[in-house]
């Protein structure tokens, strides 16, 4: 492999290791992105490290998740994050300014740079030629402190695009096609790189849609070239000076290759309750719906709301459908208003929500019981919407709007109207007033952190013991998401800065008595959980590792893990173990007593471990697969324990 955009980005930022597939590498990080659902913990971690000031080129703290202020908790977190941004030298994006991913692309993204974000959809920045990777908050905190980001060198998956999208088919259908082909685990251990003549018909924000949902494939990242379209986009944002060309060499080769003929695509939809459960819209057409939600970071562009506005102009949406419009950024909202699209949406029955994640993260906009909700959002994991037994489908803005008009799932090609043609304005409605710059010089050192009563200090983490044992409190299947391990939503998110409080909701979607049962055995040595393949898919939220760890979880035994969650488990001293023989999964039932001896000794030696199932009187082997660096973290009990005070910047 040589000459790919991904390889050029990696080689230009490689500070440790060699870029050979399967080897651990360390990358210099230029930018970081944090949001309020994960950022509160990141700022507490920076405080615990006593960091004087961030050492990245750009770090931005966004407030885009916890926006509903039903009581003091979220408002207190906003003030805390503002003070932390001032204290540690970050930009601060005020509540209402928009979702981190599109705002960052509009205002801060620079082709050729690396970015680490405490949000799994951080790879959206690959739309403009960045190498952007989602990670747990503690790893982002270490990057802010000037440390490298470590990961296993992925395979580069070249996806050649040819042809042109037909009418009524858009960028969302492109990524849904990949999910239809490969499912939610198809991108694990890979960076997706799009190339080919089909790129000419995709705008920078179209590419954002595709890069954003590469996370749903489990990919490490997604990259597009920085070409003439990226230059046009940055010029429209008044930032043409930030453009640099970054394209694959003519003879570039890829580890894995695939082609999508855009001209053959049709409207697609992901059925409940997985982004990988994709079928053509025509297969489910006619099913009554109760809600449509437009917007979020997965369809954040102006066209993604302008096209629906043109579709509903002079019409009214079905009287049984809640037509929710969720602009992804304040800039997009201002442009919708200035170009006349907003009045068409509102006149058609739109319920306009503030610029932010909102319904995507279950922060309001929960659907009615047993009613289908069509959303242009990236995920439809069980209960993520805020309604526990939800029926969420994922689709394009065209399909969602067509269905809002008819009251049933509708293939937009069946509408009695011409397909709208969208032409973007030559220049965006740029307004930077809600972006607060870092304090200059040493002024930040005098800032005190503002902590409300809901903000608790990080719990302490003891070193890895030599014996792990206890009951299996849960045995789960494949593709368990972080939304099921630690849910989001308006009820849970306000406790993100309070681990003891949020731990009450651990595994709530699977077993709402888990926290009580875990607390009962915590002092007796803790417990374990068992799972199938792709355990921990979805969000980067480190709370999905932190909360069970607080409740006494010391090991997870699974057939395989999602990348980010596995690293989060390591970062907080929870041992991720995989079955040496996947069939041994069947030797365990919930309630069995498992015991592992010589844990610290074998982990330190890089040796497999033997699990004794005392309930069934059988043993089986498991592997930890930890790198030398991960072993150090695990033995110390957490990454923050290992590196407390170690804030020297990485050499450039």
Q: Do 9 and 68 have their domain in common?
A: yes
At which of 264, 282, 313 does a domain end? 264
Q: Is residue 430 part of a domain?
A: no
Residue 604 has pLDDT above 70, yes or no: yes
At 411 the pLDDT is 98
Q: Residue 558 sits in which domain range?
A: 468-643
Q: Counting Cβ atoms within 10 Å, is residue 266 exposed (0-12), middle (13-18) or buried (19+)?
A: middle
Average pLDDT of the segment spanning 212-223: 96
Residue 1 has pLDDT above 80, yes or no: no
Q: How many CB atoms lie within 10 A of CB 302?
A: 25
Tokens 């905190």, located at residue: 141
Q: Do 234 and 292 have their domain in common?
A: no
d(CA 320, CA 290): 6
Q: What is the pLDDT of residues 490-501, one digit of tens each?
A: 888 888 888 999
**In degrees rounded to 5, what are phi and psi of residue 91?**
-70, 150
Q: What is the pLDDT of residues 433-474, one digit of tens each?
A: 999 999 998 999 999 999 999 888 778 788 999 999 999 999
Which DSSP helix (H) or strand (E) runs through 181? helix 171-182
Residue 384 has pLDDT above 90, yes or no: no
Calculate ∠ Cα 474-475-479, nearest 5°: 110
Q: What is the pLDDT of residues 71-80, one digit of tens each?
A: 888 899 999 9
pLDDT band of residue 478 (cuts 50, 70, 90) is very high
- Give the full edge-to-edge strand order of the sheet including 14-16: 14-16, 24-27, 149-152
Task: Specify the number of domains making up the chain.
Answer: 3
CATH code of the domain in which 352 resides? 3.30.499.10
Q: Counting Cβ atoms within 10 Å, is residue 525 exposed (0-12), middle (13-18) or buried (19+)?
A: middle
At 471 the pLDDT is 97
- Local structure of 406: helix, strand or coil: helix
Average pLDDT of the segment spanning 251-264: 97
Q: Is residue 650 part of a domain?
A: no
d(CA 492, CA 494): 6
Calculate ∠ Cα 439-443-447, nearest 5°: 90
CB 103 within 8 A of CB 440: no
| Percentage above 90 pLDDT, the chain | 83
| Share of the chain residues as helix, strand and coil, in percent rounded to the nearest 5 | 35, 20, 45
Q: Do 258 and 352 have their domain in common?
A: no
Q: What is the pLDDT of residues 394-424, one digit of tens each?
A: 999 999 999 999 999 999 999 999 999 999 8
Q: What single-letter DSSP state applies at residue 440? A: P
| Percentage above 70 pLDDT, the chain | 98
Which DSSP helix (H) or strand (E) runs through 40? helix 36-49
At 496 the pLDDT is 83
Q: Is residue 454 part of a domain?
A: no
Average pLDDT along the chain: 93
CB 38 within 8 A of CB 119: yes
Q: Is residue 618 part of a domain?
A: yes
At which of 205, 233, 264 does a domain end? 264
At 647 the pLDDT is 43
Q: What is the pLDDT of residues 554-583, one digit of tens each?
A: 999 999 999 999 999 999 999 999 999 999
CATH code of the domain in which 520 resides? 3.20.19.10
At 458 the pLDDT is 77
Q: Do 337 and 299 have their domain in common?
A: yes
């Amino acid at each position: 492999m040589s000459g790919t955009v991904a390889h050029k980005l990696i080689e230009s930022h490689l500070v440790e290791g060699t870029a050979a597939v399967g080897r651990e590498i360390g990358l210099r990080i230029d930018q970081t992105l944090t949001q309020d659902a994960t950022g509160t913990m990141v700022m507490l971690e920076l405080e615990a490290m006593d960091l004087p000031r961030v050492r990245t080129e750009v770090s931005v703290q966004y407030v885009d998740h916890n926006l509903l202020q039903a009581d003091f908790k979220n408002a207190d977190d906003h003030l805390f994050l503002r003070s932390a941004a001032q204290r540690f030298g970050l930009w601060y994006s005020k509540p209402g300014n928009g979702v981190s991913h599109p705002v960052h692309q509009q205002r801060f993204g620079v082709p050729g740079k690396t970015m680490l974000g405490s949000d799994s959809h951080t790879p959206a920045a690959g739309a403009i030629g960045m190498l952007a990777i989602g990670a747990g908050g503690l790893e982002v905190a270490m990057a802010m402190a000037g440390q490298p980001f470590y990961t296993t060198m992925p395979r580069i998956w070249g996806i050649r695009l040819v042809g042109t999208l037909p009418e009524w088919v858009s960028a969302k259908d492109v990524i849904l096609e990949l999910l239809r082909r490969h499912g939610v685990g198809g991108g694990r251990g890979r960076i997706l790189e799009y190339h080919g003549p089909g790129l000419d018909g995709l705008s920078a924000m179209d590419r954002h849609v595709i890069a954003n949902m590469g996370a749903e494939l489990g990919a490490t990242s997604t990259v597009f070239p920085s070409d003439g379209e990226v230059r046009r986009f940055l010029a429209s944002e008044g930032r043409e000076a930030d453009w640099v060309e970054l394209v694959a060499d003519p003879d570039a080769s890829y580890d894995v290759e695939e082609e999508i003929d855009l001209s053959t695509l049709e409207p697609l939809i992901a059925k409940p309750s997985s982004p990988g459960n994709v079928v053509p819209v025509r297969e489910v057409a006619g099913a009554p719906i109760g809600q449509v939600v437009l917007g979020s970071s997965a369809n954040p562009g102006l066209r993604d709301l302008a096209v629906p506005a043109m579709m509903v102009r002079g019409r009214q949406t079905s009287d049984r459908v809640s037509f929710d419009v969720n602009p992804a950024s304040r800039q997009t909202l201002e442009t919708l208003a200035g170009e006349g699209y907003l009045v068409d949406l509102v006149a058609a029955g739109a319920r306009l929500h503030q610029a932010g994640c909102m319904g995507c993260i279950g922060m309001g906009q929960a659907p009615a019981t047993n009613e289908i909700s069509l959303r242009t959002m990236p995920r439809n994991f069980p209960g993520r919407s805020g309604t526990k037994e939800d029926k969420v489908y994922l689709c394009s803005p065209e399909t969602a709007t067509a269905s809002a008009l008819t009251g049933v799932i509708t293939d937009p090609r069946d509408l009695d109207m011409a397909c709208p043609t969208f032409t973007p304005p030559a220049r965006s409605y740029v307004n930077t007033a809600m972006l607060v710059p870092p304090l200059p010089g040493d002024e930040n050192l005098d800032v005190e952190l503002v902590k409300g009563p809901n903000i608790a200090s990080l719990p302490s983490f003891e070193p890895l013991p030599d014996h792990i044992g206890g009951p299996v409190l849960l045995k789960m299947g494949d593709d368990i998401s972080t939304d099921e391990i630690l849910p989001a939503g308006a009820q849970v998110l306000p406790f993100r800065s309070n681990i003891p409080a949020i731990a009450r909701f651990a595994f709530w979607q699977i077993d709402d008595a888990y926290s009580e049962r875990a607390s009962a055995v915590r002092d007796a040595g803790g417990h374990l959980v068992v799972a199938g393949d792709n355990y921990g898919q979805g969000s980067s939220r480190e709370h999905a590792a932190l909360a069970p760890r607080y409740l006494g979880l010391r090991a997870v035994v699974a057939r395989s893990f999602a990348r980010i969650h596995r690293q989060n488990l390591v970062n907080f001293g929870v041992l991720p173990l995989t079955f040496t023989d996947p069939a041994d999964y069947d030797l365990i039932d919930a309630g069995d007593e498992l015991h592992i001896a010589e844990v610290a000794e074998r982990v330190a030696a890089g040796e497999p471990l033997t699990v004794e199932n005392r309930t069934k009187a059988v043993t089986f082997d498991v592997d930890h697969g930890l790198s030398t660096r991960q072993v150090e973290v695990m033995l110390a009990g957490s990454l923050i324990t290992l590196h407390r005070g170690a804030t020297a910047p990485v050499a450039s």
